[in-house]
Amino acid sequence: MMMIDPCRACSLFLATLTALTLTAQSDTTRARELRAAEIVGPYRSGVRAMGDTLGAVLMAGKKTEVITPAALDADLSLNVARQVFAKVPGISVWENDGSGVQLGIAARGLSPNRSWEFNLRQDGYDIAADAFGYPEGYYTPPMEAVEHIEVVRGAASLAYGPQFGGMVNFVMKKGVADRPLAFETRQTLGAYGLFDSYNGLGGTKGKWNYYGFLHHRSADGWRQNSRYATTTVHGGVRYAVTPRMRLGLEYTRSQVEQQQPGGLTDAEFAVDPRSSSRARNWMVLPWNVGAVTLDWRPNARTLVDAKVYGVIAEANKVGFVKPINQPDTINSATNDYAARQVDLDRFTNMGVEVRVRRSWTAFGREALLSTGIRGYGADNHRQQQAPGTTGSDADLSTTGDFAKDLDLGTRNAALYVENLFRVTDKLSVVPGVRLEHIQSRVDGRINTTGTGGIDSGERTRFVPLFGLGSQYQVTSSTQAYANFSQAYRPVLYSDLTPSATTDVIDPDLQDASGYNIDGGYRGTLGEALRFDVGGFCLYYNDRIGAVLKDGVNFKTNIGTSVSTGAEAYAESDLLRVIRGRSTTTHLSLFVSYAYVNARYTRWNNPAIAEDPTKSIAEKRVEYAPENILRTGLTYRDKHISATVQANVIDGVYTDAANTETPNAAATVGWIPGYSVVDASFTWTLSEHISLTGGVNNVMDEMYATRRAGGYPGPGLLPGMGRNAYFTLGAKF
């Protein structure tokens, strides 16, 4: 049974707020539902809370945000996450290549590594390599193609899956409803050879709605040896079979070829952060995502949402991956470079999800029931550590055998049920449960010796997760909310795979488990202030790691961490406050702040159990900045919108032992905090033409956000220096 003592204060906070909830909108009155979701304000904020429902899923009592990228003065050409997610308090970002190819975000002390603590989705379906065995997001849609982004914190674990971080869903643009053909284009030129071209076409004709886009982005890169090219093609059609039933089909193809400049030592970073000693490292990412969808309202009380989806993709890497303090030198015997290492991953996954929302009567009031089932299978063929060519291009051919050749797979089935009960006209309570069944397997070999074969068989487990949310409508425009939801992290492929024949996997290795508690108060005051202020507690038990036991590396559950803190967002239209409703210009100030106290509370390492001075208990969780502050000022009138944004981020430790001094290979050690200022504008020349531009990192701050032990490093990875861009946009 889970212990909750580390979060007793948060539990009391939850218990208090459970007495407060919001009256849910009528299931049959769409206009009321939309008004509640928007909490309409006097200016374009670009972020809002969700209403009580999101399609067939219940969102009452949950910490939620909806981001509209087009309403922000953000650099969409480079998917700049610190700008896109600026008004979502507590989002930490890894910025290590400036390409916008991969999104690295997290919250509440979790790791931003390819956003793997979030359940990443596009139009409601999984897009990661394997949602359970390898949940890394190698593909990120171009923000120019995204209508809005839905963010749900840890309470997403019941409806979407068990990730501790929650869910991030990229909702793609659809064809306009009022005409059969509409065209939009955005052409961007920027520093360091940046060229970004986005072209979309869509519309509605009779019962058909369609939208497609072609996107290409390429650049030489801010650092040496960091050029890249990415091309994304997307098409989607929806057909109204009847006024109550709509079928959809969509497909996305992304192709990325990216040079990786590697990491730096701390001394090299201090001299020239743009330098690189790796000219032959590449990553190649072909990614295919497709889905068939059904949206059906058989009657006014029932909504059915069904999706069948799949991913066929690869994550391929070639390069010299020795520690960064070892030069990629010329081979004196052949007067040529040494052979590079080739690593290949091929992913195939397929899933089906069916959700139903139905209204019924309880306590003399309308209640909402949401239930769903999921079936999912994923297979990964992993080949690593083969000798490649001695060249410098993105050649994935090999000259010998792969040392590692593994077949890995996941099978998953799940059922969830949540129900919104309206206890009073203002009070709503949302209990829920999710039943998860997971099978994981790994077999193959980890080297070419006779003892290199492994066969883990299958790991099968059944995991129930429980949750409880609540809302209270304090005023007509403000609400209090609170939620408790259990979560877990399944054992990953890497956890089941020994790195050497002498390594040992604990036969009793358990999935990590825990829960999220959060609560707060949100809404609008008058017409000039929007806010969301609250607290949280994240309990993360049975974290997985390697310890030294009996002279060998022993992979087991090493301990527990707890993250507690506060998240706050507020935005006010200052000119509206001064001049009143009649003003035609706006000057809005926003502040997004999070305090995160993420620490280890228990350490199971048997090798140091007798030496408490080596314990990591009470040490800070790696890559968890204690303070994350983003604030910005936006001026907007009929034709001009301009924003200045500041990002102030605390320093982080990069290992659980909280090593202060960086090692020679720059893979561990303290990373100092930093402050980055961005400035951007949009000039609407006419109904059809606009000009957007800006300068990222105006003060040319030299900073880093992570260290890597392997790809894309090893070593310290700098963020991007000052760079400018200009975009010409048109819609017809």
Q: How confident is the model at residue 336 (pLDDT cuts 50, 70, 90)?
A: confident
**Which helix (H) or strand (E) segment is 8 a member of?**
helix 8-17
- Residue-wise pLDDT for 361-378, tens only, equals 999 999 999 999 999 999
Q: Which two tokens stand for residue 476?
A: 């007509």
pTM comes to 0.92
Q: Note the pLDDT of residue 4.
A: 38
- Letter for the amino acid at 219? A
What's the farthest any 2 CA atoms get from each other in the chain?
86
Q: Note the pLDDT of residue 582.
A: 73
Q: Note the pLDDT of residue 346.
A: 97
Q: Note the pLDDT of residue 278.
A: 94
Q: How confident is the model at residue 630 (pLDDT cuts 50, 70, 90)?
A: very high
For 611-670, the DSSP string reads -GGG--TTPBPTT--SEEEEEEEEEE-SSEEEEEEEEEE--B-SSTT---S--TTSSSS-
- Residue-wise pLDDT for 196-213, tens only, equals 999 999 999 999 999 999
Which residue carries 């089941």 as its tokens? 496
Assess whether the previous peptide bond of 712 is cis (omega < 30° from 0).
Answer: yes
Contact between 442 and 407 (Cβ < 8 Å): yes
Q: Which two tokens stand for residue 430?
A: 């949302």
Tell me which residue of 728, 727, 729, 731 sits closest to 688, measured CA to CA: 731
Q: Note the pLDDT of residue 448.
A: 74
Helices (H), 200-249: none
Cα-to-chain-centroid distance, residue 636: 30
What mean pLDDT comes out for the span 618-636? Answer: 95
Question: For the chain, what is the mean pLDDT?
Answer: 89
d(C-alpha 602, C-alpha 470), whole Å: 31
Q: What is the b/e burial string over 41-51, where b = at least 16 CB atoms within 10 angstroms of the residue's CB?
A: bbbbbbbbbbb
Percent of the chain scored above 70 by pLDDT? 89
- Letter for the amino acid at 78? L
Q: Note the pLDDT of residue 603.
A: 77
Q: Which two tokens stand for residue 247?
A: 């079928």
Least confident of 43-52, 82-91, 606-615, 622-631: 606-615
Q: Note the pLDDT of residue 605.
A: 62
CA dihedral sign of residues 106, 111, 117, 121:
positive
Domains of the chain with CATH codes? 5-731 (2.40.170.20)
Q: How confident is the model at residue 698 (pLDDT cuts 50, 70, 90)?
A: very high
The single-letter DSSP state of residue 276 is -
Contact between 377 and 317 (Cβ < 8 Å): no
Radius of gyration of the chain (CA): 25
Q: How confident is the model at residue 219 (pLDDT cuts 50, 70, 90)?
A: very high
In what order do the strands lie in the sheet containing 118-122?
47-48, 64-67, 146-152, 166-172, 118-122, 125-126
d(C-alpha 186, C-alpha 690), whole Å: 9
Q: Note the pLDDT of residue 428.
A: 97
- Letter for the amino acid at 238? R
- Residue-wise pLDDT for 501-556, tens only, equals 556 777 777 889 999 999 999 999 987 899 999 999 999 998 877 666 666 667 77
573, pLDDT greater than 70 = yes
Least confident of 151-160, 180-189, 340-349, 656-665: 656-665
- Residue-wise pLDDT for 131-170, tens only, equals 988 999 999 999 999 999 999 999 999 999 888 999 999 9
What mean pLDDT comes out for the span 383-391? Answer: 94
Contact between 150 and 124 (Cβ < 8 Å): no
